[in-house]
Structure 1
Amino acid sequence: MNFNNLFQPGLFIVVLIALAIPLGRYMTGVVDGSSVVVRRIARPIETALYKLAGVDPSAEMSWKHYALAVLAFNALGVFAVYGFLRLQQWLPANPQGFGPMTPDAAFNTAISFVTNTNWQDYTPETTVSYLTQMAALTVQNFLSAATGIAVVIALIRGFARHTAATIGNFWVDLTRITLYILAPLATVIALVLISQGVLQNFKSYEDVPTLQVTTYQTPKTDAQGNPVKDAKGNPVMVDNKADKQTISMGPVASQEAIKMLGTNGGGFFNANSAHPYENPTPFANFVQMIAMLVIPAALCLVFGRMVGDKRQGYAVLAAMTIAFAVACWGEISSEQSGNPLYASLHVDQTASSAQTGGNMEGKETRFGIAQSGIFTVATTAASCGAVLNTHDSLTPMGGFVPLLLIELGEVIFGGVGSGLYGMLVFALLAVFVAGLMIGRTPEYIGKKIESYEMKMVSIAVLLTPLLVLVGASIGVLTAAGVAGVSNPGPHGFSEILYAYSSAANNNGSAFAGLSVNTPFYNSTLAIAMWFGRFGSIVPVLAIAGSLAAKKRISATAGTLPTHGPLFVVLLLGTVVLVGALTYVPALALGPVVEHLIMVAGH
């Protein structure tokens, strides 16, 4: 790797941590109610919202009540988004006159945005009205992100409290996170993006003249649409002229900001963050990458503050940062090395002052391999489906990295909330493994980890791989699943495996090359998204309730320190080991065998 490819990830990590420290301090004050903003400045607005919703902010919930509130609220969100998508032709703010989505596509999209997945198998700028973009999709970007943060805050309370029957109030957590964290940050980021040239308007799409006029011929048809033929039976051709291009407009910056900040990923345009109207400059690109990971990084510090030991948060953050840096190195070096088959054709792929070198296929020339690599790692380390370059065009090992990051559970920073509670589940598994080694009941943050917690950990860890591997198996064994594959062989298998990995882990990015806007994929991927999200949230909340009810015990000479380098290594080893044992056979059939084929010269 050249200096630029080392400098850019290093700079990104430094800026990320520098911003996460003050944000973590502020977020702690928001969720525990001690912030001046919560106590004085915006209290009237918060109180009015509680009265309007009929919520008693002083009444806390048991974990079962909290889980029921999460499920009911998000189920209602599915119905609301589905309604917008099916009825948008009769609703206002639809200057292009878009009709309704098909039932299966609307079902998939509604679940996608509610579960923080934002899987898009449609072209937004030709399918979804402005009102649907704002009132349905963008609103769910806020609410799904707030749900994830609320769940991890409830889990942290489980560690922080002792002999308690409650873990907080979901409605209060949801309101404060949205009102004091997501909304202000999204507003600032949206203004920054607007300053860089990201669109934010309500205009109808505009036709602009092209620099070059293109002429072409098409068959002439009659009033019924039948082709017209001459006396010899040949089709009659008609001359056409293309001298204009339709440019999409819309409220892009507001959706772009929260799609990144909330690790949602649904783009206003089909090209997503590779579109110049979503991502016009290198600075805008850097801001978007930071926005993806700043809240997940800050939540690690929130964890340390709330449990009363900042070192615990630093340890988790260190584990995430190390894994992120290694992933960036693997991704960028794989793409910078390029395809060895080109060397046999005497193609120079080395970077120089005259060229970027490496594998530039499917990448933005505005950003190059380094920023594309960081973006690819960031979006798949987080549960953010935004894309800067085509994952389908990555080298086999370059595609292996984002696929593995997703399949590890997206706990390396991860989605807002979901990344940290996923990592804390692995932390419980790590201390359990350590306890088995020495024959001692495992402890974490002063709480004994017993059989009930480990049963819930097992469900949370194993459910997603079950959804991924069973879904991918059905995809490759059924005619409806194979029909969407355009690249047979190991690459086609990688496309199917990536689709179900992305859906079940609520990422939302796609490997591309797989036609998924069909009833089969819309239905099966929607099921994977829903159970991947809430099938993990329920056991996490059960763990929170169980831990909150326990007494806090003092550390002894036999207690495993969970704030030092040894624990960081143990935690990373547990994450990698579980991922390896679960997914290596599937990965071997996809990107690994494709890499071996490539280096063998085939």
Structure 2
Amino acid sequence: MSPALAAGLQIAAVVIVLAAAYVPLGDYMARVYASPSDDDPSDDAGSESNGTGGGTALRTRTRPRTDSRVESLIYRLCRVDPRAEQTWIGYSLSVLGFSAASVLFLYVLQRVQGVLPLNGGLSGVSPSVAFNTAISFVANTNWQSYVPETTMSNLTQPMGLAVQNFVSAAVGLSVAAAVIRGFVRVRVGGELGNFWVDLIRGTLRILLPLSFVIALILLTQGVIQSFSAGFASTGLDGSSVTNALAPVASQEAIKELGTNGGGILAANSAHPFENPTPLSNVVEITAILLIPVALTRTFGTMVGDRRQGLTLLAVMGALFAALLAVTAAAEAGARGVAAEAAGAMMEGKEVRFGIPGSTLFAVATTGTSTGAVNSAHDSMSPLGGGAVLLNMLVGEIAPGGVGTGLYGLLVLAIVAVFVGGLLVGRTPEYLGKKIGRRQITLAALSVLVMPALVLIGTSVSVLLPSTTGYQGNSGDPGTPGSIHGFTEVLYAFASAANNNGSAFGGLTVTSDWFQTSLGLAMLLGRFLPIVLVLALAGSLVATKRTPPNPGTLPTHGPLFASLLLGTVVLVAALTFFPALALGPIAEAVQ
């Protein structure tokens, strides 16, 4: 089978499954996050305040929610009133409080794993690695500065890391739902929903059932599921080799579905225990894209105009297709003696997937906040590696992470509407809500968080004398080695600030500087945008809806899609072109 045919068949399989699931899954998620009180979004009638001032007031609705028995039991155990709603401040404090408690729990679990059951002879994790890992998994990044087989026990993996794979993804879904309500509702009190209800519903109704199905499919392909510490075998050279085992299938499913990415084995999705066949590869790529793509349908359904969701989907699809084409073309070429002998850039790639399966996986994992890999991104060609790096630098909105991709693109849509309003001299509006100074300020701040973290972190790291030695391919200034070393550092901070988690493996990040700086980049890159977009949603929910008029810019269709696409490309180009010129572009030219 020719590479072109193989690529076409894999892309077709992914697209067909996504198309089949788009409407039912998107509408189902809209029902999951719909509140009975949204039936009448015009005012606060029929509700009474049971909270306090300061913006954290909760409002109790008289109309009951349709909660399952399991959900009702969890509400009682956690003392959550499912009829209560929160303003953006209360919602933000809940997100931050839950995440802080999760970081603390995961840190302590790693430190004491040596005295817990199923430790497999492993001791507690060192403080710096435990700190970095706790932030990483809670922030939905899953950056791994450790070797899983020799660091994390078979109790820490499912009880700590896998749990965060579920709840960190559910946090992203919850924030996206709250932002959508900001466009849908008109509330004097500014309520956006209840974070605890959204968190529980997203976990139990969306992530758990889908993960169970995907895990069963992966088991049929040979993905392992075991609590054994491992087994011994004889290597090709006659030496004894210990092969690690773990409950892989269950964690692999949510790793991809929740756009988490942290592998339970060091080789991640290139390991035959995690991703054994071309079919399992396609299943995992589909799982990565499934929820982010379907969320555009959820958005259109909840705002009452599905054309809005299709417009966002078109922008996501155009960006994804363009970067996939560039990456595939770069990797299908042959530069260098080894590549010419193999006929393509096969270094660092699994032969069972080849160029098509590797490039499709790479673009899917960097276009979302997944970070799982089935090939070594550091071994990609300069142009191919630069393309997947750019995929993160545009904000991971093609289609983005679970929840984060949707609200990230909505922030850019507000910027595009503002630019369009300036061009025609009218007050910008989006979905009937006027975009004023407060809204565009919050949107701009949200857009600027990631570039600031990436550029500041990269510039400081490449200048500090104590860090240059950790750039594995660095050499004299201006040499190919130093250029690639710069790209590795740029990739690391782009991955951390975007909560992606993939890496150029040539960079050693076990020093205290990288453990701390990348940990802070992950923390700020996750939660600063969340607070800002919730503040934006809070300002929108208190804004009256304006009927469309002849001067209103339509926010659906090819015209607005082109404006939004141009805004995305322009923001990324102006922000990161100098850094890219010093790294992958310079390396590709050489």
Give the Å deviation of 1:516. Answer: 0.1
Give 2:99's aligned residue. Answer: 74
Q: Deviations over 1:362-385 (max 9, x none)?
A: 111000101100000000000001
Residue 192 of structure 2 is aligned to residue 167 of structure 1: yes
Which deviations, in whole Å up to 9, do the C-alpha atoms of 1:558-582 show, x marking residues without a partner? Answer: 1111110111111111011000000
1:58 aligns with 2:83: yes
2:45 corresponding residue in structure 1? none
**Pairwise mapping of residues 290-369 of structure 1 onto structure 2 (< 5 A)?**
290-339=286-335, 341-342=336-337, 357-369=343-355
Indicate the residue corresponding to 1:276 in structure 2.
272
Alpha-carbon separation, structure 2, partners of 1:112 and 1:469: 20
Q: Which amino acid aligns with 1:138?
A: A
Of 288, 305, 315, 2:284 maps to 288
For the residue of structure 1 that corresponds to 2:242, the secondary structure is strand
Contact (CA 8 Å) 2:345, 2:380: kept in 1 or not?
yes
- Secondary structure at the aligned position of 2:102 is classed as helix
Amino acid in the other structure paired with 1:45: V
Residues in 2 aligned to 1:529 and 1:46: alpha-carbon distance in whole angstroms:
31
Distance apart, 1:348 and its partner CA: 5.1
| Counterpart Cα distance in 1 of 2:375 and 2:235 | 26
Shift of 1:163: 3.2
SS at match of 1:206: strand
CA contact (8 A) 1:9 1:325 kept: no
Q: CA deviation at 1:33?
A: 5.4
Q: Which structure: larger Rg?
A: 1
Query: Match of 1:372, SS?
Result: helix
Counterpart residue identity of residue 316, structure 2: M
> 1:382 and 1:511 mapped to 2: Cα distance?
17
Of 127, 146, 164, 1:122 maps to 146
Return the letter of the residue paired with 1:427: A
Does residue 197 of structure 1 match 2:218? no
CA distance in 2, matches of 1:521, 1:81: 20
Partner of 2:33: 31
1:558 is the counterpart of 2:560:
no
SS of the aligned residue for 1:246 comes to strand
How far residue 294 of structure 1 moved from its aligned partner, in angstroms, is 0.4
Cα distance in 2, alignment partners of residues 368 and 20 from structure 1: 28
The alpha-carbon deviation at position 69 of structure 1 amounts to 0.3
1:247 is matched with: 243
- 3-state SS of paired residue (1:130): coil
Asked if 2 retains the 8 angstrom alpha-carbon contact of 1:105 and 1:519, the reply is no
1:462 deviation in Å? Answer: 0.5
Residue 29 of structure 1 deviates from its aligned partner by 1.2
Q: CA deviation at 1:358?
A: 1.4
Shifted more, 302-311 versus 189-198: the winner is 189-198
Local SS of the residue matching 2:547: coil
Match of 2:174 in 1: 150
For residue 211 of structure 1, report the CA deviation from its aligned partner: 5.3
The one-letter code sitting in structure 2 at the alignment partner of 1:79 is L
8 Å contact kept, 2:483–2:582: yes
Deviation at 1:4, TM superposition (A): 3.5
Task: Kindly indicate whether structure 1 or structure 2 has the higher relative contact order, using CA contacts under 8 Å at least 6 residues apart.
Answer: 1
Equivalences for residues 9-28 of structure 1 within 5 A = 9-28=11-30
Is the counterpart of residue 375 in structure 1 residue 361 in structure 2?
yes
1:402 aligned partner: 388
Is 1:474 paired with 2:476? Answer: no
Deviations 1:36-73 (A, max 9, x none): xx977x71111000000000000100000000000000
Pair 1:418 & 2:404 matched: yes
Measure the CA separation in 2 of the matches of 1:363 and 1:395: 12
* Counterpart contact for 2:136–2:519, Cα < 8 Å: yes
Quote how far apart the aligned CAs of 1:250 are. 1.2
Larger CA deviation: 7-16 vs 59-68 = 7-16
Aligned residue type for 2:526 = R
2:416 equivalent to 1:391: no
CA contact 2:165–2:260 (8 Å) conserved in 1: yes
SS of residue paired to 2:155: helix
Provide the secondary structure at the position in 2 that maps to 1:60: strand
Correspondence 1:141 to 2:177: no
Corresponding position of 1:502? 495
Distance, in Å, in 2 between the alignment partners of 1:479 and 1:191 is: 50
Match of 1:83, SS state, is: helix
Letter of the 2:446 partner, please give it: A
Distance 2:10 2:222 in 1: 23
Q: Which residue of 2 aligns with 1:235?
A: none
CA distance, structure 2, for counterparts of residue 176 and residue 305 of structure 1:
18
Answer with 478-487 or 563-572: which moved more.
478-487
Q: Which runs of 5+ in 1 are unaligned?
A: 214-241, 350-354, 598-602
What corresponds to 2:57 in structure 1? none
What amino acid does structure 2 have at the position aligned with 1:305? T
Corresponding residue of 1:452: 438
CA-to-aligned-CA distance 1:301-357 (integer Å, 9 cap, x gap) = 000000010100011011101111111111111100121x44xx9x857xxxxx7x3
Report the counterpart of residue 110 of structure 2 in structure 1: 85
CA distance in 2, matches of 1:65, 1:22: 32
In structure 2, C-alpha distance between the alignment counterparts of 1:7 and 1:512, rounded to whole Å: 30
Aligned length: 553
Contact conserved, 2:13 with 2:282, CA < 8 A, in 1?
Answer: no
**1:208 counterpart SS class:** strand
- For structure 2, the residue ranges without an aligned partner over 5 or more in a row are 37-63, 475-481
| Moved >4 Å (runs of 4+) | none
Aligned-partner Cα distance in 2 for 1:175–1:329: 39
Using a 3 Å threshold, how does the CA distance of structure 1 residues 583 and 348 change in structure 2: closer, same or farther?
Answer: closer
1:13-40: per-residue Cα shift (whole Å, max 9, x none)? Answer: 3332322221101111111158xxx977
Contact 1:390–1:512 at 8 Å: present in 2 too?
yes
Over aligned residues, Cα RMSD in angstroms? 1.5
* Cα distance in 1 between the residues matched to 2:450 and 2:230: 41
> Under a length normalisation based on structure 1, what TM-score does the superposition of the two structures give?
0.90
Letter in 1 for 2:213: V
Identity over the aligned pairs, expressed in percent? 52
Q: Is the 8 A contact 2:65 2:82 kept in 1?
A: no
Distance apart, 1:100 and its partner CA: 1.3
Give secondary structure in 2 for the equivalent of 1:2: helix
Query: Is the 2:113–2:123 Cα contact (8 Å) retained in structure 1?
Result: yes
Against the structure 1 CA distance between its residues 531 and 295, is the aligned structure 2 distance closer, same or farther, given a 3 Å change threshold? same
Between 203-212 and 401-410, the greater mean CA deviation after superposition? 203-212
Q: Does 1:111 align with 2:135?
A: yes
Instruction: Please tell me the residue identity of whatever aligns with 2:16.
Output: V
**What displacement does 1:466 show?**
0.4
- Tell me, yes or no, if the aligned pair for 1:382 and 1:415 is still in contact at 8 Å: yes
SS across alignment from 2:262: coil
Cα deviation per residue 1:479-502 (whole Å; 9 max; x = unaligned)? 232121111111000000000000
Shift of 1:10: 4.0
Q: Is the 8 A contact 2:65 2:83 kept in 1?
A: no
Q: Where does residue 579 of structure 2 map in the other structure?
A: 586
How far apart are residue 525 of structure 1 and its match?
A: 0.3
What residue in structure 2 maps to residue 538 of structure 1? 531
Q: Is the 8 A contact 1:5 1:332 kept in 2?
A: no
Which amino acid letter does the alignment assign opposite residue 127 of structure 1?
T
Name the amino acid aligned to 2:367: A
* Contact 1:17-1:297 within 8 A present in 2 as well: no
* Corresponding residue number in structure 1 for 2:258: 262
